[in-house]
Structure 1
């Protein structure tokens, strides 16, 4: 087993790695290269479970609480290999390099600082480190990088308010959004409304996870109570036409992560991911890799798998890339340049 390779483009089709795009759904530790995980673990004598070594990428499921617990445990184990500021800088640099290789022009990486605070001197010190590392990675690779601070819905809502205030302090200084992650089935979403109100007053983009493990009713809760402006996943909006019409009318972008949806058992296979339903309804969709470390698949692979599973044309793939940029918080000049380069990609003759 190993990372999902990007196949050569079919005859008469363009190379998806050359298609400019934005990456809007990528988790911090989950962005780590598998080789880096193994190297850092060996350096410090950390014994990793077989699922992260011989059997990588691991078989996963989130069909029940036990399956999600196993997924979260692997993520938590992976987090423990990040021991030094240089480790954090390496992670950001390599994530940026990988996105650039996949055609990335802009990346919004999501992080919960409280998960790293104990080792790195607190949530503020860790946030400073991440933002500094992101700036260095951007300067080195040319990729635009911003940060979304996300609360953990398995923790107390008061913790989320603390993180919302932290995010607000950094609004306009590298932090562009506030999110809510972890198992949708845990906690009560409405309890996090006050945290999102803090972020909203600060002008941050509101990007909770919703509509992956739970269906349309939870998407409505995210829209009504958290004032979501973009949804982490949101793919199950496809199950309710009236809701999907509302998502489209409100301009709420959906961060769809096909490979992780299948790996976690949300859909049985890639052809079952309802991308066509979303696009036909006029939804804004930004494809993302979610956690490449656990799912073995990075950004360009999401486009390649959807091309194969749904027979997408190059023009449709170009529009997906445009939507990812339009839904991003990228600066206007970067967005305009990338959109122009998408037009150039599409105008070129296929190989």
Structure 2
């Protein structure tokens, strides 16, 4: 078996950001929406930097307008993930894009997504769970509305709450209410930090939002005392190396700190973030990491187990995924 063939667990995947470009182009054509400006000559997504990426992302998302659109999106995303060997995935979903944070509309979108996910599980064996995510640059008031949607639908399928978007917009402490609300509803918590914000953003997420996982978190490496805290407290990093390299957070794969973080005892996982935007798949992530750091199958088996153990799903689902990893 090669690392490409191994069963994989992905914890950091943006649902809309995983939309294949061909799917978005087709949907735009159906709706007679001109999105030609967001694609390059090869048909892939085109952007200049992270902030332009956010604009392109939101433009692509604009054609996802109905629960049926999201059901079709879910089918397309899970087909791609399953083809890369992913057996369990957690996806970030934003009521901002699914019903404009109206709880009733959000329930309709969620039902459609779940129905498509159940069909994909039956056909491909891949299990999907959702993490409701507020958008940082939309502000703390809209985050409260998003948190209300999350709290109302918390359960066996919506298993977590998080925050994404522009890390330089506002302060994480402004979102404490939303995280307290969803924590009380029984949801597990994660937050994007330590990608564009430095190590202090990771510390803020831990201190103010009291999360157990950090989305990205890689710039913690700039503060070794913080790295030691992450290791000692068992905080899990949802690391997306290909995303970091494409966006210029690090110059190349060998410069990426995932290996150093792991050597210092931090629990690291591997994900694709927004795979078509960054021209990657889980197979590509595994192969590039193997090349950059000479990781063997044992390292990736450990990362997959760490990922499964850090998953926000219920114990029965987690046990099922761990057994599948043992058999792979």
What TM-score comes out, normalization by structure 1 length? 0.86
For the 8 Å contact 1:21–1:322, the answer to whether it is kept is: no
Instruction: Specify the alignment match of 1:200 in structure 2.
Output: 183
Instruction: Specify the alignment match of 1:101 in structure 2.
Output: 83
- Of 252, 275, 283, the residue aligned with 1:269 is 252
Closer, same or farther in 2 for the Cα pair 1:74/1:178, shift >3 Å? same
Instruction: Specify the alignment match of 1:225 in structure 2.
Output: 208
Instruction: Specify the alignment match of 1:36 in structure 2.
Output: 23
- Kindly state the Cα deviation for residue 107 of structure 1 after the two structures are TM-superposed: 1.0
Matched, 1:242 2:225: yes
In structure 2, the residue corresponding to 1:38 is in which secondary structure? helix
Instruction: Specify the alignment match of 2:8 in structure 1.
Output: 21
In structure 2, the residue corresponding to 1:179 is in which secondary structure? strand
Q: Which moved more, 1:115-124 or 1:208-217?
A: 115-124
Distance 2:105 2:214 in 1: 28
Instruction: Specify the alignment match of 2:34 in structure 1.
Output: 47
Distance 1:274 1:44 in 2: 43
Closer, same or farther in 2 for the Cα pair 1:125/1:57, shift >3 Å? same
- Kindly state the Cα deviation for residue 331 of structure 1 after the two structures are TM-superposed: 4.0
Closer, same or farther in 2 for the Cα pair 1:60/1:282, shift >3 Å? farther
Instruction: Specify the alignment match of 2:51 in structure 1.
Output: 69
Distance 2:220 2:321 in 1: 29
For the 8 Å contact 1:150–1:179, the answer to whether it is kept is: yes
Instruction: Specify the alignment match of 1:160 in structure 2.
Output: 143
Q: Which moved more, 1:313-322 or 1:330-339?
A: 330-339
Query: Relative CO higher for 1 or 2, CA cutoff 8 Å, sep ≥ 6?
Result: 1
- Of 31, 48, 67, the residue aligned with 1:85 is 67
Mapping 1:96-135, distance limit 5 Å: 96-118=78-100, 122-135=105-118
Instruction: Specify the alignment match of 1:297 in structure 2.
Output: 280
Mapping 1:3-14, distance limit 5 Å: 14=1
Distance 2:258 2:127 in 1: 27
Distance 1:229 1:342 in 2: 23
Deviations 1:330-351 (A, max 9, x none): 4434433443444444xxxxxx
Distance 2:59 2:187 in 1: 30
- Unaligned runs of 5+ residues in structure 2 are none
Closer, same or farther in 2 for the Cα pair 1:31/1:223, shift >3 Å? same
- Kindly state the Cα deviation for residue 295 of structure 1 after the two structures are TM-superposed: 1.1
Distance 2:279 2:296 in 1: 25
Matched, 1:176 2:155: no
- Kindly state the Cα deviation for residue 56 of structure 1 after the two structures are TM-superposed: 5.0
- Kindly state the Cα deviation for residue 119 of structure 1 after the two structures are TM-superposed: 11
Closer, same or farther in 2 for the Cα pair 1:161/1:51, shift >3 Å? closer
Q: Which moved more, 1:135-144 or 1:84-93?
A: 135-144
* Aligned structure 1 segments of 4 or more residues deviating by more than 6 angstroms: none
Deviations 1:59-83 (A, max 9, x none): 655xxxxx33311111011112224
